[in-house]
Amino acid sequence: MTDVSPVATEPTTGSTTGSVRIVRVPELVGVPAIDAHDRALDAGVLAVAENATHTASGRSLIQRQDPDPGAEVEHGAIVRIWVSS
């Protein structure tokens, strides 16, 4: 299983607006859709469904995601997810 905990890294300054916080993308594939958004938020990213076929019951599972689990991204980055129908 991939480590899904946020990763603390040295802040970098790429502009005059301040530092950038880097987090690790969590494993969302196989996770119930109802839990995937919370897991993503807990890791510091935003999961956005690329298809609109989820059910209100939340029993659908995440089929794939982009970027892959473990990728390092800026805090608040979007993780695209596809939900099973």
Positions of the chain with pLDDT under 50: 1, 8-16, 54
Q: What is the model's pTM? A: 0.73
The full set of domains in the chain, from first to last, is 12-83 (3.30.10.20)
Residues paired with residue 64 on neighbouring β-strands, in sequence order: 82
Residues paired with residue 82 on neighbouring β-strands, in sequence order: 64
Q: Decide: helix, strand or coil at residue 6.
A: coil
Q: What is the 3-state secondary structure (H, E, C) of 7-66?
A: CCCCCEEEECCEEECEEECCCCCCCEHHHHHHHHHHHCCEEEECCCCCCCCCCCEEEEEE
How high is the pLDDT of residue 15? 42
Q: Decide: helix, strand or coil at residue 78.
A: strand
How high is the pLDDT of residue 57? 55
